[in-house]
Chains A and B, each alone.
Chain A
């Protein structure tokens, strides 16, 4: 298996623009997570899906952030409008269940100028 695939790997955008990050989880995994990593706040869980249904979105910073999982093999995280403070590395991870642990993608480094 190719692992969790995220695209793009790097994104530079101007403040106010819409940004869409994409994730393909490992085939057969039923849980998907979006994390954000910054120097100041470390790794934060943004949202967690189970069987394509959002279970916990309490980490989503504000209404500018939205996430979807239209099917078991694809998820998106959208930021509209983007702001400089959204600059971070965004990770997608998938899992077969709690005891197994999550498998992470390579991340998308987002820079908002």
Chain B
């Protein structure tokens, strides 16, 4: 059974500092991994999707890496801003046919002005 872990559960940084968020999964046989952002009481916004054959994806200040063999993904957010404060969730998809996502518990981020 796939298990996804995100450590730390919470993180507080001063504005301008780079953020490093970790995601680990127990079964390396994944189809893809997706990073989401969730604001309090809201739905999820997709940030980045990494296919199992890829090593990283970039979008603006965000960069996500994937090391499938070691069961790890890292989300980097450069030059953090107070607007980056949110909960960040990673989720893995098992196969092309299997659409069920297994989510990590999330990392709650606070960027202080």
Q: Do A and B come from one complex?
A: no
- Taking beta carbons and an 8 Å cutoff, which residues of A are in contact with B? none
